[in-house]
Structures are given as C-alpha cells and as structure tokens.
Amino acid sequence: MEEEKDQLIKRVERLKKRVETVQNHQRMLKIARQLRVEKEREEFLAQQKQEQKNQLFHAVQRLQRIQNQLKSMRHATADAKPESLMKRLEEEIKFNSYMVTEKFPKELENKKKELHFLQKVVSEPAMGHSDLLELESKINEINTQISQLIEKKMVRNEPIEGKLSLYRQQASIISRKKEAKAEELQEAKEKLANLEREVSVKTNQTREFDGTEVLKGDEFKRYVSKLRSKSTVFKKKHQIIAEFKAEFGLLQRTEELLKQRHENIQHQLQTIEEKKGISGYSYTQEELERVSALKSEVDEMKGRTLDDMSEMVKRLNSLVSEKKSALAPVIKELRQLRQKCQELTQECDEKKSQYDSCAAGLESNRSKLEQEVRGLREECLQDESRYHYTNCMIKNLEVQLCRATDEMKAYVSSDQQEKRKAIREQYTKNIAEQENLGKKLREKQKAVRESHGPNMKQVKMWRDFEQLMECKKQCFLKQQSQTSIGQVIQEGGEDRLVL
C-alpha cells in the first residue's frame, strides 16, 4: 500500500509538471473538474431515472393487479346474494382464524425449537466422526428405552385408556387432515396469485407487442370460429399446393428427359458435322441467332425506356407544381395552428397547475373529512354498543327482580306447595340430600380403608401361590424330560413314581 501510494504521488507530480507548461492550465483543470462533476451528476441522475422507471413499472404492475382483483370481485359480486357473500366471508374468517390461532403458532413454535437446536449445535465445538457415532448409539439406546416405556404404559393403562386412545387417534387424524387441507388451500391461493401475476404479465406483453388485449368470452369464441374457417381454407390451399408440387415434379422430370434428348441430338449433330467436315456450324448459327434476338430486344427496350423517362419527367414536374400550389394554403394554416398550439399548451400548463393545486387542497379536505367521519362512526359504534349493553343489563336486572319477587311471594305465602316451589326450599332439600350422601360415602370409605390391608395381603399371598405353583410346574416338566419312564425320583424329602 505504501509503495502504491508513493508511485501515485510521483505520477501526480509528473502530470503537474507536464500541465504547468501548457497555457491556461488552471482554466483547463477547472473545466475538467466541472466535467467530472457533471459526469458524476449525470450518472446519479441516470441511476435515479432508472430507479424511478423501476418504481413506475412496479406501481403499474400493482395497479394492474389491483384492477384485476377489483374486476374479479365485481364479477363475483354481480350475481351474488348477501347470504352467499356472508357465507364466503365466514369461511374466509374461519380459515384465517385457524391459520392465526392454530397453524401459524405451531409453525412458529417448531421454527423456534429448530432455531434453538441449531444455535445449540453452533455453540458446541466441532464434532468428529467418532463423536457422531457415539451420539447415534446414544440416540438409538434412548429410542429403545422410550419404546419400552411406551409399551409398558400401554400394557398398564390398556383397559382404562382404550377408548381414550381411539378418540385421541381420531382427533389426531382429523387435525392432520385439517392441516393438510389448510396447506393445500394455502398452496392453491399462492398458485392462483402466481397465475394471476403471469396473466397480467402476459397481457402486458401482448399489449406491448400487438397493442391489443387478450380475448375473453364471446370474443374468444368468435376468434375460434374464425380460426376454424381459416383452417379449412388453409387445408384447401395446402391441398392445391400439394397438387401443384406433384405437377411440378412431373414437369421437372419431363424437362430433364427433354434435356437429355436434346443433348443426345446435339451430340449426334456434332458427329455428323465432323463427318461432313463442317464442325461447329450449328453452334455458330445458334449463337448468331441468339445475339441478333438479344440486340433487337435491347434496341426496343432502349427506345421504350427513353420515351418512358421523358413522360415520367413531364408527369413529375406537373405533379410537383400541383402539390406546391395545393400545399401553399395548408402551410399557412399549419403555421397558424402551430402558434395556436403553443398558446393552448401554455394555457393548458397554467390550468394544469391550477388544477393540481385545487386537487391537492380538495384531497387534504377530503382526508380531514374522512378522519372526522371515521371518528364519528367509531363514536356511534361505541354508543350503540353501550346502549345494547345497558339494555341487556336492564333486562337481566328485570329478570332477577322478577325472580326475587316470586321468591319473596313463595317464601311469605302460607301455602306449603308454593313454599316447596321456592328456590330456598329446593336448595335446602338438595343440601340435605348431599349431606346424607356424603355421610354414606364417608362410611363406605372407612369400610374400604379397614378392608384394604387384609385384601392387599390376600392378593400378595395369591400371587406368591401362583408363582410357587408355576415354579413347581417348571421343575416337574424339567424332571420329566430328564428322567426315564418307571424311575423313582427322591428330592425334597418326598418319593415320587414317574410313569
């Protein structure tokens, strides 16, 4: 870097020495500096122009996309009913709420977990092949342990959670189907948006190339019928061309045969001329005839071309004079129209500036009025919600008041049936029933606790007995397989005869 710096300094000094010998070098340096600044400014303006073009292109694309959406919405709502629109909106709301409340949070949680694992992997030091093998072996061991624990849990809780597992499986299947359908719908929406973008791009390209729009509906049907008629005409013309080609092939073949015959005749004529001693006579005669015919044709063409040229010059001169006389008033009118056009363009620019200022003022007023209307609508909605809430509260209070008056009448009345209908009597009756039920359950619990210990002992003794019998059975089978028939076995202090 230092060496390059020194070299650049030396080059600058040499260039300064060269420039100082030139006259008006300061002025030339100033002009060069201004030129460099202007070039940089030109590049900046060109870049800014390109950016504005890109922005304009994106804005036009966005406008076309929005216009297409507006057309599709208008077409969809042209013959639609409020019920269908409400149904569609409800479906969209359900789908969006499902995406927001269920799908997106799950995906976000999965992404967070994946990010956490990746960060953990990145934070750890680099691992070799042996470390990876150890991790794989640990993962396999843990997976086997997990599967064993799951099997034990299933065996332990199989009678209790049999029905629950079915419901869980059904719920998981339904949730997976729901997620799959939501993903399919999302993909279909993205595909539809991509196709709409492609259609808009293709329509723009067709407009740029041909200046015409894409045919739709009846216009496309008419175009197809017209194309079919043209295709029939094309087939007929193609058939005629094929016939002409076949005829051309025949004529070409006849021409070749005639040429061969002509060559044979010429060869025979040359041999005859050589025999007679006048070789080349026919060739010279043909050449003389051909040259004389060409000369006569050239003379005729020269005469015709000279006459045509003289007539053409006269005609052009007359046309030029006529056009000049005819264009003189038109040129005068054109000058007047140019002056008028300049005046109108000036007036149009003034009116346009006035219109822009007026439109800006109206736009600001409109935005203010829209804000005021929005605020008033929000206040109106709040007042309406407050009004409905107060009405609901009043109705609830009226219902409670009616219930309280009925309760007071039933409680004060001397009729026993009316008293039984009172809520207080019903609640006291329910409380008494629940207290009796609680007493019975406590007694039952006490009996179960008292009998729990002996019952558990009996269960343990029965299991020990089963194990003992199983052990005896195994020992018996083992001894039976080892001993022969009729041998007496003495073991454990007992004599047994094996048959």
Torsion angle of the four alpha carbons 335, 341, 344, 348, in this order, in degrees rounded to the nearest 10: -160
Structure tokens at 446: 């006490």
Residue 302: inside a domain: yes
Residue 347: inside a domain: yes
Query: Which is more confident, 387 or 204?
Result: 387
Enclosing domain of residue 479: 423-497
Task: Assess whether 370 and 467 both reside in one domain.
Answer: no
Residue 239 scores a pLDDT above 70: yes
Last residue in a domain, options 383, 402, 421: 421
Last residue in a domain, options 360, 393, 421: 421
**Cβ-count burial of 150 within 10 angstroms (0-12 exposed, 13-18 middle, 19+ buried)?**
exposed
Task: Assess whether 443 and 362 both reside in one domain.
Answer: no
Q: Give the pLDDT score at 161.
A: 54
Q: Give the pLDDT score at 469.
A: 93
Residue 462 scores a pLDDT above 90: yes
Q: Could you tell me the pLDDT band of residue 231, with boundaries at 50, 70 and 90?
A: confident
Residue 374: inside a domain: yes
Residue 136: inside a domain: no
Q: Give the pLDDT score at 498.
A: 42
Percent with pLDDT over 70 in the chain: 84
Task: Assess whether 228 and 286 both reside in one domain.
Answer: no
Q: pLDDT tens, 334-364?
A: 788 888 888 888 888 888 888 888 888 888 8
Q: Which residues contact 49 (CB under 8 A, 6 or more apart)?
A: none
| CA angle (26, 30, 35) in 5-degree steps | 145
Q: Give the pLDDT score at 440.
A: 92
Cα separation values, 408 from 203, 229, 395, 403, 414, Å: 80, 94, 20, 9, 12
Least confident of 236-240, 300-304, 336-340, 457-461: 300-304
Q: Give the pLDDT score at 162.
A: 55
Highest mean pLDDT among 172-181, 259-268, 434-443 belongs to 434-443
Task: Assess whether 416 and 285 both reside in one domain.
Answer: yes
How far apart are alpha carbons 122 and 127 in whole angstroms? 11
Q: pLDDT tens, 289-331?
A: 777 777 777 777 767 777 777 777 777 778 778 877 877 787 7
Residue 178: inside a domain: no
Residue 487 scores a pLDDT above 70: no
Cα separation values, 16 from 25, 177, 268, Å: 10, 81, 93
Task: Assess whether 443 and 479 both reside in one domain.
Answer: yes
Q: pLDDT tens, 145-181?
A: 887 887 777 666 655 555 566 667 677 778 777 777 8
Least confident of 225-229, 237-241, 422-426: 422-426
Task: Assess whether 372 and 303 both reside in one domain.
Answer: yes
Residue 464 scores a pLDDT above 60: yes
Task: Assess whether 320 and 404 both reside in one domain.
Answer: yes
Query: Helix, strand, or coil here: 498?
Result: coil
Q: Give the pLDDT score at 55.
A: 87
How far apart are alpha carbons 32 and 19 in whole angstroms? 13
Cα end-to-end distance, the chain, whole Å:
109
Q: pLDDT tens, 191-221?
A: 888 887 787 777 777 666 655 555 566 677 7
Across the range 374-392, mean pLDDT stands at 88
Q: Give the pLDDT score at 100.
A: 83
Percent with pLDDT over 90 in the chain: 6
Q: Give the pLDDT score at 475.
A: 92
Q: Give the pLDDT score at 176.
A: 78
Residue 143: inside a domain: no
Highest mean pLDDT among 18-32, 156-170, 435-449 belongs to 435-449
Query: Which is more confident, 406 or 443?
Result: 443
Least confident of 81-90, 243-252, 277-286, 405-414: 277-286
Task: Assess whether 297 and 318 both reside in one domain.
Answer: yes
Q: Give the pLDDT score at 1.
A: 67
Residue 472: inside a domain: yes
Q: Give the pLDDT score at 78.
A: 63
Q: Give the pLDDT score at 165.
A: 62
Q: Give the pLDDT score at 281.
A: 62
Q: Give the pLDDT score at 336.
A: 84
Structure tokens at 321: 């004079």
Q: What is the crossing angle of helices 2-20 and 25-78, to 10°?
A: 120
Task: Assess whether 247 and 303 both reside in one domain.
Answer: no
Task: Assess whether 229 and 346 both reside in one domain.
Answer: no
Residue 497 scores a pLDDT above 50: no
Classify residue 499 by its DSSP letter: -
Cα separation values, 77 from 72, 197, 218, Å: 8, 22, 21
Q: Give the pLDDT score at 499.
A: 36
Domain count across the chain:
3
Across the range 126-147, mean pLDDT stands at 81
Q: Could you tell me the pLDDT band of residue 485, with boundaries at 50, 70 and 90?
A: very low
Q: CA nearest 57: which of 194, 211, 204?
A: 204
Task: Assess whether 408 and 429 both reside in one domain.
Answer: no
Find where tokens 């070299």 sit: 7
Residue 59 scores a pLDDT above 70: yes
Query: Which is more confident, 1 or 433?
Result: 433
Query: Which is more confident, 474 or 299?
Result: 474
